[in-house]
Amino acid sequence: MSLNVSSNVQGKDREHSLKIVAWTFSACLASYLLLFVVYYPRGLESGDNAYKIQQIQDLRESGRTDVLYGLKEVDPRHEFYPAIYPFLIESDGSYHLPFPFQLIHLYRPFYALGGLAGIVALVLSTGIGVLILGYKIIARQAEPSRGAPLLMVLAGGSALIPYAFSAYEHVITTFCFLAAAYFYLFSRFPYREILAGLSVGLGLFVRAESILLAPLLLAGRFLASGGKFRLQSDLRFALTTGILFLLFVGSNLLLTGHPFGFRGKAGFGWPVIADALYRVLEYLWLREQPYTTLGRATPAVALSLLLLLQWQKAGEEYRTLFLSGWAYCLAVPFLISVPPAAQFGERYIMAAYPLLILSMLPLTRSNVRWQRYGLLLLFIGTTAWTVRGGLEHLKNARKFREGLALIAKEAWAATGSEKVVVLRNRTLNTFYFHDPEKRTYLLAESDADFHRLIALLRTAGISRISVWHTLLRGENLVSPQGDTFSFAPTLVPKDFKGRQISSRAVPFLEIANYEIGPIP
């Protein structure tokens, strides 16, 4: 009788504990949706996302992956196309934007349904998916409510609240990583290893470096279990990811001639050891700008190192999360020779964030009150820091996009009926990506390039152009990501012979329309 009473009490306690986790999940979800409404990316996209949108539009219009370029006949080398290396890659005589065509095909139906809103809806869904998977892992605990604060940490930093609206594909890979770890380590679903492999495969098609997670999960579980092999389980996982990797490489070879696609053709090269080691430190902490490294943006990841104090008691699954998560954070900046950008949490390694956060679940089991509540205070403090930085990032990005939209409206009005626009600063190509009139935009920053372009335009029979020049200078021309840009010194070279038809200054821009005449 007493056993039944004890069992019933434990069942009720667990049910109440699960309700606390569910309430926490609901609060995080509501906050996320509210921020989506408040900070939805209105205005014009810039940077990488604008290039990807243009790639989708070109694909929809032509059915091909190479860029559409109005002056292709007279400028076959695309010297004046409004993109510069590494955003324009030559491949067998054709020119392409460097983003994975698999990613563009993934975005394409969502863009067709709702434009940018459709892509953001996809990102929103995967962000919510991270929360759901975190909830399912926490709910497996004997006392789930003790792990509930980790949902708050996930919502605060793992590509959910602060990050979901800028580097979109990195949110998708974050979901893929956690899905792979969930199916590989926690799920009881039949053939779960195949689902784990499919999750890694989806991440691979979005970001090529995601394939690293497969060997890291395998090696992490091998080490976490003390050197035990699970032949059937590991073989299914390895075979699934291997087949998808071969499909990825084969499709890239077929369509681009390089196993890693157009980005691979850019040729990043093998890492120099000293540079790679310093880059690892930069990605994790050393970069000076606040919120731009994993440690500075999401300091909760440092708390996962406390797991080393309870290594033996932690359990194989959580030791695997810890090992594979940290290994990914070290391997990616070491192997990929791309310097860290001034973006929130350094996007390349944010995908491992949920693995590191959920690896701390064993720390929440402590019955020592000061340890449990001390950890809770650390979770709250580090999450508040992360959300503060994320909100700052979102506000800046929204102001930048909305500012671009206002400038574009006046700039297009000043351009009038002219169909060819010559940009004197490469930052202005953002307007090319969004122009509803589909004008031909060309880039000529130096005076020598400007004169060569005018000669090409005359050869092509074009007699009228609009020239755009930014009034911003040097340190003033800074994107929300912190990038600065070069600029031409004047609207047109002093020895330019064209006849000015009209001119107008709009916010931050000087615009003039010219008659350049026939071939001399």
Q: Is the pLDDT of residue 217 over 50?
A: yes
- Residue 474's pLDDT is what? 42
Nearby residues of 455 by Cβ (< 8 Å), 6 or more positions away: none
Q: Give the rounded distance of the alpha carbon of 495 from its chain centre.
A: 44
Q: Tell me 115's DSSP state.
A: T
- Residue 482's pLDDT is what? 47
Structure confidence at residue 187 as a pLDDT band (50, 70, 90): very high
Q: Tell me 33's DSSP state.
A: H
Q: Specify the pTM.
A: 0.90
What is the tens place of the pLDDT at every residue in 108-131? Answer: 999 888 888 888 888 888 989 999
- Residue 165's pLDDT is what? 58
Q: Give the rounded distance of the alpha carbon of 108 from its chain centre.
A: 17
Helix-strand-coil split of the chain, %, nearest 5: 65, 10, 30
Nearby residues of 406 by Cβ (< 8 Å), 6 or more positions away: 507
Q: Is the pLDDT of residue 86 over 80?
A: no
Supply the mean pLDDT for the chain.
Answer: 86
Which whole number is the average pLDDT over 238-243? 96
Which whole number is the average pLDDT over 330-357? 86
Torsion, Cα of 133, 136, 137, 140 (10° steps): -170
Nearby residues of 473 by Cβ (< 8 Å), 6 or more positions away: 487
Residue 65: what residue type? T
- Do 204 and 245 contact (CB within 8 A), yes or no? yes
Nearby residues of 137 by Cβ (< 8 Å), 6 or more positions away: 182, 186, 358, 361
Q: What angle do CA 114, 43, 152 make, to 5 degrees?
A: 75
Smallest CA-to-CA distance from 390 within 296, 293, 291 is with 291
Q: Where does 336-434 have alpha helices with state H?
A: 353-358, 369-415, 429-434
More confident residue, 482 or 41: 41
- Do 155 and 131 contact (CB within 8 A), yes or no? yes
Q: Are strands 420-423 and 464-470 parallel, antiparallel or unpaired?
A: parallel
What is the tens place of the pLDDT at every residue in 385-414? Answer: 988 888 888 888 888 888 888 889 999 999
Place of tokens 């708050």: 152
- Residue 75's pLDDT is what? 93
Which whole number is the average pLDDT over 243-269? 82
Q: Can you list the pairs that 313-317 forms with residues at least 24 positions away whose Cβ atoms lie under 8 Å? A: 313/362, 314/359, 314/362, 315/362, 316/221, 316/224, 316/225, 317/185, 317/186, 317/224
3-state secondary structure of 440: strand
- Residue 517's pLDDT is what? 76
- Residue 516's pLDDT is what? 92
Q: Which residues on neighbouring strands pair with residue 465, listed in sequence order?
A: 514
In whole angstroms, give the CA distance from residue 155 to residue 379: 12
Most confident of 317-331, 335-349, 384-398, 429-443: 317-331
In whole angstroms, give the CA distance from residue 433 to residue 45: 8
Place of tokens 């990825």: 248
